[in-house]
A and B are shown apart, each in its own frame.
Chain A
Amino acid sequence: MTARERIAGNVANYVDERTGAAAWMKKNLNKVFPDHWSFLLGEIALYSFIILLLSGTFLTFWFDPSQREVVYEGSYQPLAGLEMSAAYASTLHISFEVRGGLLMRQIHHWAALFFMVAIVVHLMRVYFTGAFRKPREFNWIIGVGLLTLGIVEGFLGYSLPDDLLSGTGIRIAEAIIQAIPVVGTYLAFFAFGGAFPGEAFIPRIFIVHVLILPAIFLALITVHLMLVWYQKHTQYPGPGRTEKNVVGYPLLPVYMAKAGGFFFVVFGVTTFIAAVASINPIWLYGPYTPGQISAGSQPDWYMGWLDGLVRMSPPIETYLFGYTISWNILIPGLIIPGLMFTGLALYPFIESWITGDKREHHLLDRPRNAPNRTAIGAMALTFTLVALINGGNDIIAQQFHLSINQIMWFSRIGIIVLPPIAFVITKRICISLQRADRELVLHGKETGRLVRLPHGEFVEIHEELTPEKKWLLTSHEQNGPLELPEIDKAGVRRTDAIRNKLRSRMSAANAEVAPKVTSKDLNEIEHH
């Protein structure tokens, strides 16, 4: 035994005698993780979060979360002598005087954008592959929670510098709070410590941004990862992969090296972009004052859809008994987002209600093999995308020399018309792809090689698929629709007839597929 081994042994013994960690470590160091590029999306979100914690902590050393009025005396000449809040002045100080400060600010902002991109794309991966199904519904809901909090956290973050752009965002948030019936005005006054803008909101959103929300994030991310660990990762279908096993690489050493390395890659790429690409140049916007604004005011991308909904809203307000209800703010600002996120969170339960499927699922679906789910996803994305496009309607109008009114009307009509169209088209594409799979399994791959038969006929050689490929294209389940009775045994209409009818119909729509190839089909082909 070398000296090094002896020391390591002694340390391990010391820890184990006090914690009994060896038994747990033995089992978990060999934990198997399936390998696929799409499983890295959640990792990017996690690593971006760590980058945010590191860069954010750096920024707090100089940032002064206060709306105390100061006169700027820093090195950025265009703003010299101007009155501004201490928050804005200290952000300028970080950008111009703290060495590496601007770099850290840009790392922080870019990492926040990537964090949200990674969450959304990860969510799309989980959705379109059906990874949210039993037993992973809890983790789906935690994920939706993280997405929601991420939007809020990002918004609070870019509000902190108290520049002209961020103050405008806060003003809009205040108007949304104020529009809530009955209690809105009071809520706004409590949140802002009086009439807008007051002098309270920067210190308040600062503590929410740096302490309260990150603590909730840490807790939720921990549970999210523990559940992934405990429930074992899902895997894509393929030869040798079943609902009962996990095929992949052990944590030690391969996965640890790859995941650890990937953290540094994400950090490196984020830093590279932060080094070369300026973001949120707050010194160009100037300090916030409610009487001014810059043209082309835009939120960060993950808020853009919300702003787009607000922009396209028709101008409807109701005045009743001396009170005002601002539908033009409530519907796009609170009601539609509320419905969207509730629907998102409940989707696993809705799907399992429609299919009647209560079994565990660890093998992922190829999106084409769940046409209804994929089409619903495409519909939701289309809705959000139209809203997002409208959120940039002024920029688009300027860049493409269109009128804002045209884009607004396109969005107003498109947000209602386009999602159903996306649903139908996506579903048809999925079923066509299933048919193409069927064709491939039955008749093989077209090789492009033409052969002339002795009697003069030309035929194309089809190459038979490997057994692995055939298995991949046929191993998915195809379950028929639920058939729920509307009339009971005695011939009387059941009390739940309407619900059963609805459920049967949705189930039938859900079960619409191109039948997959069975061994019987293959046998028939062979005997031809």
Chain B
Amino acid sequence: MSNELESISDPGIPPHVHRKADEDPIAAKRAERQVAILFSLSALGTLLFIFSYIAIPDDLFVFLPIMGNTNAHQLFLGLGLAFSLFFIGMGAIHWAKTLMPDNEVTVERHEFRSSDEDRKEFVKTAKDGAAAAGLGRRSLIKRSLGLSLGLVGLSPLLLLRDLGPLPEDSLTKTSWKAGTRLVTDPGDRPIKPEDLEVGAVAQVLPELAPGKDHHTLSDIAKDAVLLIRLRPEEFNLDAERLSWTHEGIIAFSKICSHMGCAVALYEQQTKHLLCPCHQSTFDVTRAAKVLFGPAARPLPQLALALDSEGYLIAKQPFTEPVGPSFWERSS
């Protein structure tokens, strides 16, 4: 479409324009003073930093507009450091812009490609080297070396084996067993149905096994359960799932079936559970059916019953794995 001949001509680099400070000694002196003032401001900043470190108590708070109450010690320490750094930079840049030579320089670029001669010699050297080692001829050496290098590569993999145990059935099992009491979290108190009013929500954990003094985080990551009480007629469940509820109390795993966040937001009006991570929405009245969002499965429901003392217990373990999906999960 176009070529060099048709292009308009390059006028070349425009003539250099001198700055005020290049020609006027008074302007130069002024610029020098400005640079010195900037550097001095930096020194003042460091003084503020030292003063704040020594003299401002670390429990003093001051009010900053927009930011609210701010710790004065950290604030002035930071401002001092910020000024000391910032004005060094401004001084150096102002110095460069006003007083250092500003003549543009032009230099030539060179092609990166090596000369044909160099390339030829390189190929020859490489070939000679390979020939001297005899890699091409001695295939026995080549193959055995390949084998041993490949095998050596396996050893770090082997050594990394102890990074963790094999999963086995740990993703499919929780601490909930038939008869496990539901206890409050925190507090570890067993719960009776009358402790929960209609519309109320509670987070519960399985009662600690004898000999254990607290729930580990890895246990909570599978065991956390949400207890919700509705009026029994509000449920829209099949007979089996309805039998898993008790006097309007229904229990779901609190660990999201999408990516394992805690499904902690309960909308009392709509009876929806919402996961704050990715907004998967579950319908409590329909066994946590997914209404919206990326989750593909309902939250597993825990079957409830009462023990002889009237406390809520699990009728049976979870019938499916809780938490996010994994390859070995069967449905």
Contact = CB atoms under 8 A, between A and B. Distances in A.
Interface of A: 30, 32, 83, 99-100, 102-103, 106-107, 135, 168, 171-172, 174-176, 178-186, 188-198, 200, 231-232, 239-250, 253-254, 257-258, 260-269, 271-272, 274-278, 288-297, 307, 310-317, 319, 322-326, 328-329, 332, 360, 362, 393-394, 404-405, 408, 467-468, 470-471, 474-475, 477-480, 515-520, 522
A396 to B, nearest CB: 12
B277 A264 contact: no
Interface stretch (B127-135, B140-148, B157-165, B238-246): B157-165
Given A272-B78, A311-B294, A468-B14, A291 B254 contact: yes
Contacts of A394: 276, 279
B74 A100 contact: yes
23 contacts: A168-B262, A178-B325, A184-B326, A192-B164, A193-B164, A194-B164, A197-B218, A239-B10, A240-B14, A244-B108, A249-B102, A257-B92, A261-B88, A275-B75, A295-B276, A297-B277, A311-B278, A326-B325, A328-B296, A329-B294, A404-B279, A478-B2, A518-B7
Contacts of A478: 1-2
A171 B101 CA distance: 57
B220 A257 contact: no
Nearest to A75: B59
A178 B324 contact: yes
B85 A268 contact: yes
Given A168-B261, A257-B96, A408-B292, A240 B10 contact: yes
B241 to A, nearest CB: 20
Given A404-B279, A475-B10, A277 B92 contact: no
Nearest to A330: B325
B109 A276 contact: no
Contact of B96 (A100, A258, A269, A522): A258
Given A184-B326, A185-B171, A467-B11, A253 B100 contact: yes
Contact of A247 (B74, B105, B277): B105
Contacts of B328: 185, 323-324
Given A239-B11, A293-B277, A268 B106 contact: no
Contact of B105 (A32, A323, A408, A517): A32
Nearest to A260: B92
Given A271-B81, A324-B330, A189 B93 contact: no
A179 B64 CA distance: 46
A408 B325 contact: no
Contacts of A266: 89
Nearest to A480: B1
Most central of A171, A181, A247 by chain B CB within 10 Å = A171
Contact of A276 (B70, B171, B261): B70
A323 B330 contact: yes
Contacts of B255: 290
Given A261-B90, A275-B74, A278-B67, A518 B259 contact: no
A475 B10 CA distance: 8
B167 to A, nearest CB: 5
Given A269-B86, A272-B79, A517-B8, A172 B260 contact: yes
A246 B292 contact: no
A465 to B, nearest CB: 11
B58 interface: yes
A468 B86 CA distance: 37
Interface residues of B, number: 99
A192 B217 CA distance: 13
Given A247-B13, A297-B261, A474 B109 contact: no
A277 B67 contact: yes
Contact of A471 (B10, B81, B325): B10
B111 interface: yes
Interface string B244-286: 0000000000110011111011000000000011111000000
Contacts of A316: 296
Nearest to B205: A291
| 4 residue pairs, one from A and one from B, having the closest CB atoms | A275-B78, A268-B86, A264-B89, A261-B92
Given A258-B93, A261-B96, A275-B79, A175 B259 contact: yes
A404 to B, nearest CB: 5
Interface string B104-116: 1111110110000
B238 to A, nearest CB: 21
B331 interface: yes
B83 interface: yes
A328 B105 contact: no
A519 B6 contact: yes
B102 to A, nearest CB: 7
B293 A189 contact: no
Contacts of A179: 324-326
B324 A175 contact: yes
Most central of A192, A194, A322 by chain B CB within 10 Å = A194
Given A257-B93, A468-B11, A408 B217 contact: no
Contacts of B277: 168, 172, 293, 297
A475 B7 contact: yes
A314 B296 CA distance: 8
A291 B185 contact: yes
Contacts of B164: 189-194, 198, 200
Contacts of A99: 53, 58, 73, 77
Nearest to A250: B105
Contact of B71 (A102, A243, A474): A102
B101 A254 contact: yes
B311 interface: no
B322 to A, nearest CB: 11
Given A99-B77, A323-B329, 8 more contacts: A168-B262, A183-B327, A241-B13, A258-B97, A272-B82, A290-B220, A360-B111, A516-B2
Contacts of B64: 276
Nearest to A173: B259
Contacts of B83: 268
Interface string B303-331: 00000000000000000000011111111
